Amino acid sequence: MFDAILENRLLAAILVVIAVPIVLVGYIYLVEFVVGLFRRTTAGRIRPWLWLAPALVFLGVFLVYPTIATVIRSFQNRRGDQFVGLENYQWFFTQNDTLIALRNNVIWVIFLPLLVVGIGLLVAVLVDRVRFEGAAKTVIFLPMAISFVAAGVIWRFMYELDPKVGTLNATLNAVGAEPRAWLVEQPQNNFFLIIVGVWLLTGFAMVILSAGLKGISTELLEAARVDGANEWQVFRRIVFPLLLPTIAVIGTTIIIYALKTFDVVYTMTNGNFNTDVIANSMYQMLFNNGQPGRSAAIAVILFVAIVPVMIVNIRRFQEQEAVR
Amino acid sequence: MTQAQAPVAIGAQVQTRRRARPQLGGIAVNTVLIILMILWAIPAIGLLVASFRTAAATNESGWWTAFTPPWEFTIENYEYVLGRAGIDQAFINSFVITIPATVLVVMIAAFAAYAFAWMEFPGRNVLFVIVVGLLVVPLQMALIPILRIYSNFDLVGTFPAIWLAHAGFGLPLAIYLLRNYMGSLPSSLIESAKIDGADHFTIFTRLVVPLSVPVLASFAIFQFLWVWNDFLVALVFLGYDPANRVLTVELSDLAGRGEGSLNLLPAAAFVTMILPLIVFFSLQRFFVRGLTAGSVKG
């Protein structure tokens, strides 16, 4: 029976991989044929919407509708048959656990972007001046290819309490220090979880910053050096300001990431020892505590927290468009 | 290790370096980078070594002791993981989920990106800003409403459910990156094709798509890595049913079984990483180029 299921799945996947492109290209071909029957001005008016239609349907079903539904659900009781006003929100802001999750998210939002962008920038600047650039970039970027679950396993070996197994405690042992319970000691255990995120994401920041750096004209830098600027001044006065837009892009991306952070916490501590974050507590409320109303309220709070970042993002886009 | 000797030859080599390169750094620069590389590599190397050690050895001593005699390495862990823990099934499931989810999103996003970049219509910018704004919707928030839709159509626990969901979640970033890239293609090219009588279908398939291959490929790789490494979406839509498990869910389940499998976990983790690593190493150059094309203006 197992084999039958497997065979069917493979078959279905192959069918989809062949059929989806045919259907979609066929759709666009059909759109162009139908649009061609209309007058030019009419055609120009309806064509864009038909090209956008598949994407808009997907976005509507999978992102817009869930957002609206969640907002409504957050004002309802546990069973979802009665409106309870702001009760779920009140609950969130009066619970010790959820407030700790909120505090931890603030820690994530401060330290994750700072470390990721900081180390990413350091590597991007330094890697330009060594002969093993490719190797260095590959090593730093590699964790991007690793799932959070696998990363969780990797870092459990790093943080293991027993110095005979845990890499970090073995290192402490070697220099004569006492082993530490990295994931239990509060509140620094949050910081040790953030380290895992830094390990995973720095490659992303480094690659984009490095590309931005290569775009800066060498003549400009040489001119500054000839005028007697030292390397630090060149970086501080020329490189950094020119990289600032790129740094802003990565910074906002990582801030959004930090707000939505879930996988690292879920796989490493599951929110124990006061390491919970909003996304994880939302998940627990929904799937383990059977409290969809409260979970929806947490989701909305998370969404509202992201809105300012989103506004910055949109402003930046509009500025870009103005330049174009 | 040969990298550590790099500073010695600097003086002689400077002239042959690429033009864009500033002067090579001294010992300090090399040292800082090598330390960072070691820090970044240690966790993964530790896991790799542990995956080839016996249960007894892993429970008694750290991976670093494996480098001193007696050299006791084994492939038992891999044999067990590949044979009994149901990982082969999960591997196929992951594969069957990832490929269609990637194809779907790249194609739909390409149509939309083309419309946003090269068609005039009222509300174009507002709509595009909304699409970019959807980048920040927390995934966890969308799961339950989608589950409700799926249960109306009997889709819960099926593969189309997860194909469609991943395609939906991947769209905002895909449209954003592809539109930025397509929009930066020279407009003279598109205009002259129009003057020559080419319609949108021809311009799209013959001109824009071939020119956008780097960004299409890089996003496809990005989406591939993302779906392959996804845990939450697979868990919610497919559940713990052994026949439905993907690699990440399988690995998480194995991790949950506790100390007894301390030797199996590293091997299982590496099995989940094999395909992404192959994809990453073989297509790394492509990936990096296309990803940076949209966000950085040189």
Q: Judge if A99 and A226 occupy the same domain.
A: yes
* Radius of gyration, CA atoms only, chain A: 25
Residue A235 is part of a domain; what is its CATH number?
A: 1.10.3720.10
Domain finish residue from A73, A104, A129 = A73
Type of residue found at A218 = T
Answer whether residue A237 is part of any domain. Answer: yes
Question: Of the candidates A40, A73, A106, which is a domain's last residue?
Answer: A73
Q: Does residue A283 form part of some domain? A: yes
In whole angstroms, what is the distance from residue B153 CA to residue B165 CA? 14
Task: Report the number of distinct structural domains present in chain B.
Answer: 2
Residues B18 and B123 in one domain: no
The average pLDDT across A284-304 equals 88
User: Are A136 and A174 found together in one domain?
Assistant: yes
Partners of A9 on chain B (C-beta within 8 Å) are 92-93, 96, 159
What total of structural domains would you count in chain A? 2
pTM: 0.81
A41 and A155 within one domain: no
Contacts of B94 (CB under 8 A, 6+ apart): B228, B246, B247, B248, B272, B275
For A72-94, how does the pLDDT look when each residue is reduced to its tens digit (9 = 90+)? 999 999 888 889 999 999 999 99
- Asked whether residue A269 is assigned to any structural domain, the reply reads yes
The verdict on residue A14 lying in a domain is yes
Asked if residue B90 and residue B68 are part of one domain, the reply reads no
B102 and B236 part of one domain: yes
Note the ipTM here. Answer: 0.82
| One-letter amino acid of A19 | A
DSSP-derived 3-state class of residue B266 = helix
Q: Which of B41, B59, B76 is the last residue of a domain?
A: B76
Q: Is there a contact between B131 and A59 if contact means CB atoms under 8 Å apart?
A: yes
Residue range of the domain that includes B38:
2-76
How far does A131 lie from chain B, in Å, by closest CA?
7
Q: What is the pLDDT of residue B3?
A: 34
Residue A28 φ then ψ, to 5° = -65, -40
Query: How large a percentage of chain A has pLDDT more than 90?
Result: 36
Backbone angles phi, psi at A123, to 5 degrees: -65, -45
**Which residue bears the tokens 């707000």?**
A259
State the CB neighbour count (10 A cutoff) for residue B255: 20
| Domain assignment present for A86 | no
The residues facing A48 across adjacent strands are none
| Same structural domain, B213 and B150 | yes
Assign B260 a pLDDT band (cuts: 50, 70, 90).
very low
Give the B window 121-180 contacts with A, CB below 8 Å: 121, 124-125, 127-129, 131-146, 148-149, 159, 163-165, 167-169, 171-172, 175
Final residue in a domain of this structure, among A22, A40, A73: A73
Q: Predicted confidence band at B177 (pLDDT cuts at 50, 70, 90)?
A: confident
Query: Is A256 found in the same domain as A169?
Result: yes
pLDDT in tens, A143-201: 888 888 788 888 988 898 888 888 898 889 888 888 888 999 888 999 999 999 999 99
For chain B, how are helix, strand and coil distributed in percent, rounded to 5?
Answer: 80, 0, 20
Chain A's closest residue to B25, CA to CA, is A129
Of B76, B98, B132, at which residue does a domain stop?
A: B76
Do the chains contact at A70 and B64, CB–CB below 8 Å? no
Are B89 and B224 found together in one domain?
yes
Are B214 and B263 part of one and the same domain?
yes
Nearest by Cα to B110 from A58, A64, A55, A320: A55
| Residues A248 and A306 grouped into a single domain | yes
CB within 8 A of B246, min separation 6: which ones? Answer: B90, B93, B94, B97, B230, B234, B238
Residue A300, C-beta contacts closer than 8 angstroms, at least 6 positions apart:
A70, A71, A74, A89, B141
In contact, B178 and B223? CB cutoff 8 Å: no
Is residue A99's pLDDT more than 50?
yes
A257 in the same domain as A226: yes
Structural domain contains residue A55: yes
Mark whether A62 and A157 lie in a shared domain.
no
Instruction: Return the closest-CA partner of residue A210 out of A117, A143, A146, A142.
Output: A117
Same domain, B237 and B99: yes
Relative orientation angle of helices B159-183 and B124-133, to the nearest 10 degrees: 130
> What is the C-alpha to C-alpha distance for residues B110 and B105, in angstroms, rounded to an integer?
8
* Same domain, yes or no: B240 and B262: yes
Indicate if A194 and A310 belong to the same structural domain.
yes
Q: Is residue A80 part of a domain?
A: no
Q: Which of B22, B44, B76 is the last residue of a domain?
A: B76
The CATH code of the domain that includes B171 is 1.10.3720.10
Q: Identify whether residues A131 and A258 lie together within a single domain.
A: yes
As to burial, measured by CB atoms within 10 angstroms (0-12 exposed, 13-18 middle, 19+ buried), residue A22 is: exposed
Residue A121 in any domain: the answer is: yes
- If asked whether residues A39 and A142 sit together in one domain, one would say no
Task: Mark whether A59 and A204 lie in a shared domain.
Answer: no
Give pLDDT tens digits for B194-237.
Answer: 999 888 999 999 999 988 887 888 788 878 988 998 888 898 88
Contact A87, A93 (CB under 8 A): no
* Residues within 8 A of A (CB atoms), B 33-62 only: 33, 36-37, 40-44, 46-47, 50, 58-62
Q: Are residues A146 and A62 in the same domain?
A: no
DSSP designation for A61:
I
Q: Identify the bridge partners of residue A76 per DSSP, sorted by sequence position.
A: A83
d(CA B155, CA B161): 6
Domain range enclosing A42? 2-73
B36 neighbourhood in chain A, CB within 8 Å: 119, 122-123, 136, 140
B87: pLDDT strictly greater than 70:
yes
At A184, which amino acid appears? V
Determine if the peptide bond prior to B70 is cis (ω within 30°).
yes
Please indicate if any CB of chain B lies within 8 Å of the CB of A308: no
Q: Is the peptide bond before A245 cis (omega within 30 degrees of 0)?
A: no
